[in-house]
Amino acid sequence: MYENKTPNVIHNEMLDNISNDYAKNIGYPMYDLTKSFAIEASTLYNAMQEMINKLDVDKLEGKELEKYIYQRKGLKRKIATNAKGIIIVKGNGQINKGDLFSTAIGIRFRSLETKKIVNEAEISIEAIQPGSTGIVGQNTITQMPVTLQGIVSVTNINPTYDGYDSETDESLRQRYYEALQIPATSANKFHYIKWSKEVIGVGNVKVIPLWNGDNTVKVVIIDDNNLPANEELINRVQTYIDPVGVYNEDKKTWSTWGSGSGEAPIGAYTTVVSATALLINISVDIQEMNNYKSEDVLKNIKTDITNYLKEIAFKQDFISYARVGAIILNTEGVQDYKDLNINGGSSNITISNEEVATLGSVEVI
């Protein structure tokens, strides 16, 4: 509204409104007086614009955005979490809670337990640094920053999991708009979406009512990276919405499932599952630009297509063959391409209601 109220603009407007009977050229009193006022007035206009911006959620960031949304809808930003995992420790000694381990590139983890090691044992660990940086592949946690007496080796036979970055401004703002625009009331479909997204690590949700008869609800989730959710995340969402409890062999029932022990009402038997991965395998003949290495171009293509798949996750029910081609053509290092195949064909790929597309192999010819 007041973005264009610069000193020069204000000054010119003032001079235009003064009769030409007065000398308004540089060096005359009328010019100098109005110039001085214009400079001060611009400061006031800027302050007014800043105040207006504070009332526009699309222009707020960080703590100001958090405060605005919390005061109006009670929503809080989802915080970053520390990745967790299991390591296999070999030797004869003791691991104490807090002992450090790391990858070769220095991503550090700490032990969550104290345990005596006799030949070999499993140790629960978590990343020192919260966020997705703690997600590492199998057999990568192999270092001990500080020598541990009697311990010979350490490794993780499975990747770490549950390391999520703090919620972005964009995601928090989107949840705010959903709370305003989507009527999440009386345990309707949108209420299940709201409950699911309140759990740290959930990226998006689909709800399937009456999926297994009356009083049944299926909640299909993907994680913050728009990938299939792991068991830990599935269990957290299940417990939050409708904990199943302990299974009774005699009655063939779960102790708390459908009992209203979570957010869901009594009688609403909720089943939380992860979307299944639909692997997208791509082969393409690439003409590279000069001074680009094949491995760098391949890496760029993988990054760009992965971003596209994240963009459409749970929002679009097909992979666009044309869009993938355009992404490849616009990838850094690509001059041209031909013979693009997606999952062995040259047409759009359908994504079913409970699938999320994830990048499989990319073969560059």
Looking at residue 257, what is its pLDDT? Answer: 96
Picking from 203, 197, 249, the residue whose alpha carbon sits closest to that of residue 223 is 203
- Tell me the average pLDDT across 30-55: 88
Judgement on whether residues 57 and 96 belong to the same structural domain of the protein: no
The residues, ordered by sequence, that sit 6+ positions from 124 with a Cβ below 8 Å of its Cβ are 84, 85, 86, 111, 112, 113
Determine, yes or no, domain membership for 250: yes
Mean pLDDT of the chain: 94
- Quickly state the pLDDT bin for 211 (edges 50, 70, 90): very high
Judgement on whether residues 186 and 124 belong to the same structural domain of the protein: no
- Tell me the average pLDDT across 167-182: 93
Determine, yes or no, domain membership for 38: yes
Judgement on whether residues 342 and 324 belong to the same structural domain of the protein: yes
Judgement on whether residues 53 and 90 belong to the same structural domain of the protein: no
Judgement on whether residues 256 and 210 belong to the same structural domain of the protein: yes
pLDDT digits (tens, 9 = 90+) for 54-88: 889 999 999 999 999 999 999 999 999 999 999 99
Three-state DSSP at 134 gives helix
- Quickly state the pLDDT bin for 19 (edges 50, 70, 90): confident
Q: Which of 52, 73, 94 is the last residue of a domain?
A: 73
Judgement on whether residues 268 and 323 belong to the same structural domain of the protein: no
Determine, yes or no, domain membership for 36: yes
Determine, yes or no, domain membership for 163: no
The residues, ordered by sequence, that sit 6+ positions from 256 with a Cβ below 8 Å of its Cβ are 243, 244, 245, 246
Looking at residue 67, what is its pLDDT? Answer: 96
Looking at residue 5, what is its pLDDT? Answer: 87
Q: Is 80 exceeded by the pLDDT of residue 265?
A: yes
Q: Are 141 and 102 in contact (CB under 8 A)?
A: yes
Looking at residue 264, what is its pLDDT? Answer: 97
Whole-angstrom distance, CA of residue 272 vs CA of residue 270? 6
Picking from 230, 234, 231, the residue whose alpha carbon sits closest to that of residue 242 is 234
- Quickly state the pLDDT bin for 52 (edges 50, 70, 90): confident
- Tell me the average pLDDT across 270-276: 98
Judgement on whether residues 333 and 357 belong to the same structural domain of the protein: yes
Q: Are 329 and 323 in contact (CB under 8 A)?
A: no
Whole-angstrom distance, CA of residue 229 vs CA of residue 277? 10
Which domain does 289 fall in, by range? 277-364
**Residue 87, amino acid:** I
Judgement on whether residues 224 and 209 belong to the same structural domain of the protein: yes
Looking at residue 249, what is its pLDDT? Answer: 87
How many residues make up the chain in this entry?
365
Q: What percent of the chain has pLDDT over 70?
A: 100
Judgement on whether residues 200 and 122 belong to the same structural domain of the protein: no
Q: Which of 137, 155, 173 is the last residue of a domain?
A: 155
Looking at residue 277, what is its pLDDT? Answer: 97
Determine, yes or no, domain membership for 341: yes
Judgement on whether residues 201 and 244 belong to the same structural domain of the protein: yes
Whole-angstrom distance, CA of residue 22 vs CA of residue 12? 15
Q: What's the domain count of the chain?
A: 4
Determine, yes or no, domain membership for 254: yes
**C-alpha dist (Å) from residue 325 to 182, 214, 261, 293:** 35, 45, 49, 20
Judgement on whether residues 270 and 281 belong to the same structural domain of the protein: no
Determine, yes or no, domain membership for 333: yes
Whole-angstrom distance, CA of residue 268 vs CA of residue 245? 15
Looking at residue 50, what is its pLDDT? Answer: 87
Three-state DSSP at 128 gives coil
The residues, ordered by sequence, that sit 6+ positions from 154 with a Cβ below 8 Å of its Cβ are 87, 88, 89, 90, 101, 141, 142, 143, 144
Looking at residue 29, what is its pLDDT? Answer: 86
Determine, yes or no, domain membership for 257: yes
Q: Is 90 exceeded by the pLDDT of residue 51?
A: no
- Quickly state the pLDDT bin for 2 (edges 50, 70, 90): confident
Tell which wins on pLDDT, 29 or 153.
Answer: 153
Judgement on whether residues 261 and 344 belong to the same structural domain of the protein: no
- Quickly state the pLDDT bin for 229 (edges 50, 70, 90): very high
Q: Is 80 exceeded by the pLDDT of residue 309?
A: yes
pLDDT digits (tens, 9 = 90+) for 234-244: 999 999 999 99
pLDDT digits (tens, 9 = 90+) for 178-197: 999 888 888 999 999 999 99
